[in-house]
């Protein structure tokens, strides 16, 4: 019961904050409360004040009010450490479901240097080790957080929290930030990878078309955008200035179809996991490969761009988590 109430309260609290990838901290979105050490400090001041009144200790009054002034100054400095900062989220790259996705955060200070700023996730279930940074005066500092998408599909970025206890740890100031960006999670590849389907020979028209496109069956062809950089013949590029890509005769005259019907395992997610593993294996082997899904056919191709396009299609297949 208590957990459900906490979850509802947190959802209501986060809904009060707009979705944005750029969060400017002002007095309206920074919150501050005493820490346990701050509460103990306040109780100590109260005891000192009562003792000074009871025993008429002038030096006790002086010490009590000096410490109280230091506490008030600490309150102001803690709040000012966050006030004016700008938090920016860089574009989030795709990742496989169940594996950490990288969140690159940039914190900018328009004025003085800021110390002891912690960045992490706001939800209690997602809290882990925070990243602590110092931001230079009129400069910026980067931080990296890791978010693990539980399943394939498009996912919103969890609410983030920036906080500080600088300088004395008597107060904690924080802000809640809800990024608007979304990240795409690919299906987790099946392990171990099942054997690839048998490749099919290219027809005569397809061979002629590949020759017109610059294909050469003696081992290299003209570079095309999206080809893997590891297949580029860099020595020839340095000598002649021409980019060419390695391509063996078998890869040039055969194409591999990664077909939904050939996956051969029950269940949508299991088939998508097998197809994702096949896409990686075919790309690693440098094979010309296409992808067939219900309602979608991706023409055969090679290279990094083709691999990403195939994985994106698998992630967004009907039934993906939204």
Q: Bridge-partner residues for 156, per DSSP? A: 182
pLDDT tens for 68-88 read 999 999 999 999 999 999 999
**How far apart (Å, rounded) are the C-alpha atoms in residues 215 and 244?**
10
**pLDDT given for residue 4 in this prediction:** 74
**pLDDT given for residue 228 in this prediction:** 66
Is residue 187 a contact partner of residue 315, using CB atoms and an 8 Å limit? Answer: yes
What angle, rounded to 10 degrees, do the helices at 268-285 and 303-315 form? 180
DSSP string, 50-102: HHHHHHT-HHHHHHHHHHHHHHHHHHHHHHHHHTT-EEEEPPPPPEETTSPEE
3-state helix, strand, coil in the chain (%, to 5): 35, 30, 35
**pLDDT given for residue 253 in this prediction:** 58
Which tokens belong to 92?
A: 């989030």
Q: What is the pTM of this model?
A: 0.76
What angle, rounded to 10 degrees, do the helices at 58-82 and 36-55 form? 160
**How far apart (Å, rounded) are the C-alpha atoms in residues 18 and 274?**
39
**pLDDT given for residue 103 in this prediction:** 95
Show Cβ contacts of residue 292 under 8 Å, excluding neighbours closer than 6 positions: 257, 258, 259, 260, 261, 298
pLDDT tens for 190-237 read 999 889 888 877 654 444 444 444 444 445 566 666 666 666 777 667
Q: Does an H or E element contain 177, and which?
A: strand 171-177
Is residue 106 a contact partner of residue 73, using CB atoms and an 8 Å limit? Answer: no
Quick one: which of 190, 100, 83 has its CA closest to 147?
A: 100
**How far apart (Å, rounded) are the C-alpha atoms in residues 226 and 183?**
22
- In degrees and rounded to multiples of 5, residue 221 shows phi and psi of -150, 170
**pLDDT given for residue 215 in this prediction:** 43
**Three-class SS of residue 288?**
coil
Q: What is the largest CA-CA distance in the chain?
A: 106
**How far apart (Å, rounded) are the C-alpha atoms in residues 65 and 76?**
17
C-alpha distances out from residue 167 to 74, 88, 149, Å = 7, 24, 36
**pLDDT given for residue 246 in this prediction:** 66
Q: Which position has the token pair 């803690």?
A: 78
**How far apart (Å, rounded) are the C-alpha atoms in residues 272 and 282?**
15
**pLDDT given for residue 140 in this prediction:** 95
**How far apart (Å, rounded) are the C-alpha atoms in residues 163 and 167?**
12
Q: Bridge-partner residues for 144, per DSSP? A: 104
**How far apart (Å, rounded) are the C-alpha atoms in residues 163 and 272?**
40
Quick one: which of 33, 40, 21, 12 has its CA closest to 156?
A: 21
What does the pLDDT profile of the chain (322 residues) look like in tens digits?
777 777 777 777 777 778 999 999 999 999 999 999 999 999 999 999 999 999 988 999 999 999 999 999 999 999 999 999 999 999 999 999 999 999 999 999 998 999 999 999 987 656 567 899 999 999 999 999 998 998 999 999 999 999 999 999 999 999 999 999 999 999 999 999 889 888 877 654 444 444 444 444 445 566 666 666 666 777 667 777 777 676 654 445 578 899 999 888 889 999 999 999 999 999 888 788 899 999 899 999 888 899 999 999 999 998 544 3
């Amino acid at each position: 019961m208590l957990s459900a109430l906490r979850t509802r309260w947190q959802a209501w609290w986060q809904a009060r904050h707009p979705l944005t990838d750029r969060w400017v901290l002002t007095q309206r979105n920074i919150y501050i409360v005493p820490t346990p050490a701050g509460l103990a400090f306040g109780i100590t001041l109260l005891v000192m004040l009562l003792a000074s009144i009871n025993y008429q200790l002038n030096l006790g009054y002086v010490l009590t009010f000096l410490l109280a002034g230091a506490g008030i100054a600490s309150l102001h400095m803690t709040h000012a450490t966050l006030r004016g900062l700008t938090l920016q989220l860089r574009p989030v790259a795709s990742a496989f479901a169940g594996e950490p996705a990288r969140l690159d955060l940039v914190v900018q200070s328009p004025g003085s240097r800021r110390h002891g700023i912690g960045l992490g996730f706001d939800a209690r279930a997602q809290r882990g080790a925070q990243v602590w940074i110092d931001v230079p005066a009129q400069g910026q500092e980067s931080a990296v957080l890791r978010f693990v998408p539980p399943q394939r599909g498009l996912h919103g970025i969890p609410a983030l929290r920036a906080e500080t206890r600088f300088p004395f740890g008597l107060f904690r100031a924080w802000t809640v930030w809800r990024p608007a960006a979304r990240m795409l999670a690919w299906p987790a590849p099946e392990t171990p990878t099942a054997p690839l389907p048998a490749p099919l020979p290219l027809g005569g028209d397809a061979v002629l078309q590949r020759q017109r496109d610059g294909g050469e069956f003696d081992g290299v062809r003209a570079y095309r955008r999206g080809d893997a950089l590891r297949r580029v013949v860099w020595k020839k590029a340095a000598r002649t200035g021409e980019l060419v890509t390695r391509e063996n005769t078998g890869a040039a005259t055969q194409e591999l179809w990664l077909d939904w019907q050939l996956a051969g395992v029950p269940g949508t997610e299991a088939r998508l996991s097998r197809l994702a593993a096949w896409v990686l294996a075919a790309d690693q082997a440098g094979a010309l490969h296409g992808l067939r899904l219900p309602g979608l056919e991706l023409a055969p191709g090679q290279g990094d761009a083709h691999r990403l396009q195939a994985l994106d299609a698998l992630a967004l297949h009907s039934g993906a988590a939204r």
